[in-house]
Amino acid sequence: MSRTRTAVFAALALVAGVSGPAAAVTPAADAAISAIPCTVDYKIQNDWGAGFTAAVTVTNNAAAKSSWSLKWSYAGNQQVTSSWSAKLSQSGTAVTAANETYNGALATGGSVSFGFNGTYSGTNAIPTSFTLDGVTCNVDDGSGGGGTGNGGGSGTRVDNPYSGAKVYVNPEWSALAAAEPGGTRVSDQPTGVWLDRIAAINGVNGGMGLRDHLDAALAQKGSGEEVVQLVIYDLPGRDCSALASNGELGPTEIDKYKTQFIDPIAAILSDSKYASLRIVTTVEIDSLPNLVTNTGSRATATPNCDTMLANGNYVKGVGYALAKLGAIPNVYNYLDAGHHGWLGWDDNFASSAQVLYQAANAEGATVDDVQGFITDTANYSALKENNFTINDTVNGTSVRQSKWVDWNRYVDELSFAQAFRTELVSVGFNSGIGMLIDTSRNGWGGSARPAGPGPTTSVDAYVDGGRYDRRIHVGNWCNQAGAGLGERPQASPAAGIDAYVWMKPPGESDGSSTAIPNDEGKGFDRMCDPTYTGNARNGNNMSGALPNAPLSGHWFSAQFQQLMANAYPPL
């Protein structure tokens, strides 16, 4: 997600991104006034072709300061438009950043961070020279060590872990995919490893455990960079609004979650053997948004979600996981943020961001323990609807009034993820956060994919005739008929998006079509039954689920074949 001009940082570990009052980096105990008076880390975090967001960190190696002023000049026509945590002014190509009243003090060995937005045309070259209070700072050519090193064992996180890295191909999933007719077309794609119960840490039924996967990732890594994607998914009272993915822990078993699930995972990830891996954790799918949308007096409320809101164990559990895992330098925490068909309404959007912020500051966690968020995990929301927009009208009627959109402010996942990222920064998350979008099952290709907009006879005909997402209702989530593989995993595909990922392994069931006795803590949810006529959460529509599905997480050959057949882009 970023380009960087990196200064020499003399063993200072920086977390990517800044927001609000800048946080000084504590100098090492033996820090002394250096021959290099100052260093600067200038990062372009987002660049959308006509504008950009940048973050700057200044480290003072000279005498302590009570105020400071940093200057640089652009080689192009960049123009600063807004800033935070510093006062920026510009004359021609020359820019001056001066401290705010609250961050003027800059100790020897201390650092201060600020950010800004800008516009440009042509090229957006990174400045090559900086002065702090008139003294030239040392900036290297990017070939040495420094504040944005290679992740790995340097103790420093990169801005986007997916940038310049391979992503781990799970050999167990790969073998299942390759065994399917035509499956070798996708069996080399990276997918998430789901730690969905305590037993999964050591491996279930002779399968690979966490250490096995990390060892395999090291073997795949070679001399380059490697991302390993883990899903951390075993909260007490998990998935309070559904049954198919209920977990093993009861609503009050927060201590067991901490000591028998999170602590053992953290201990393994902390092993120096794995320090060269970039470990991405997606934390607790489908948890925190339930506290907003499925509690209280809402028609979608459930007693289980009311219980989890009252006892606080979702917030406590997520906070504890973020704190423990975030303390490991090569771990990147991405917190689950639902999807547009869940949180895109006015009643849910801002409130959910606040709940996520609350959890990110619980149980010892801070926003610095969150590197980003993931949307559409194991869901089906189309990445981009090209045949209509939220601003369209048909015969004077807004698209928002159609039955499909139903007053939502977003019609697809990319626009939602980008907007929700802005909302998350506004409530206090670092401005450097990036978003992941799970595209494993949201392609909606095949013969049913519309080639253009629907007819303008009515707003419903216009939307229904043109939408790629062919679900009966946007609330349908279980083994959806007609779905296809989406965009292949890739880094930095759009502004604010760290990567498109296949976090949900294609071919793994969402839940069983009928009740199946099991020892995995998984219940039967009628939304997985193709004969079910629905509930308040899907507008009392048919479930749209495929028949003959196995338990959640189990291999579902018919689904995998459908996903390949309806892939978009096509295989």
Per-residue pLDDT reduced to its tens digit, 25-43 = 333 333 334 567 898 988 8
CA distance 254 to 235: 8
The pLDDT-based confidence of 537 (bands split at 50, 70, 90) is confident
Residue linked to tokens 């196995």: 550
Q: Is 361 left (phi over 0), alpha (psi -120 to 50) or beta?
A: alpha
Does the pLDDT at position 18 exceed 60?
Answer: no
The pLDDT-based confidence of 522 (bands split at 50, 70, 90) is confident
Identical fold at 3-136 and 152-565? no
How far does Cα 17 stand from its chain's mean position? 15
| DSSP state string for 434-503 | EEEEE-TT----STTS-SS---TTSHHHHHHHH-S---SSTT--SSBTT----SPPEEEEETTEEEEE--
DSSP letter for 33, please.
Answer: -
| Fold category of 152-565 in CATH | TIM Barrel (3.20.20)
What is the 3 state secondary structure string of 123-185? CCCCCCCEEECCEECECCCCCCCCCCCCCHHHCCCCCCCCCCEEECCCHHHHHHHHCCCCHHH
The 10 Å CB-count burial string (b at 16+, else e) for 76-86 is: eebebeebbbb
Average pLDDT over residues 440-462: 97
Interstrand relation of 278-283 and 331-336 (parallel, antiparallel or unpaired): parallel
So what's the pLDDT on residue 317?
97
Does the pLDDT at position 150 exceed 80?
Answer: no
How does pLDDT run across 64-114, given as a tens digit for each residue? 899 999 999 998 899 999 888 889 999 999 999 999 887 889 888 888 888
Please provide the CATH number assigned to the domain covering 3-136: 2.60.40.290
Position 210, amino acid: L
What are the tokens at 547? 């028949």
List the chain domain ranges: 3-136, 152-565
CA distance 506 to 71: 50
How does pLDDT run across 261-313, given as a tens digit for each residue? 999 999 999 999 999 999 999 999 989 999 999 999 988 889 999 999 999 99
Interstrand relation of 393-394 and 397-398 (parallel, antiparallel or unpaired): antiparallel
| DSSP state string for 363-374 | TT--GGG--EEE
Active site residues: 286, 510
Position 5, amino acid: R
Question: Taking Cα atoms as reference points, which of 378, 567, 381 lies closest to residue 474?
Answer: 381
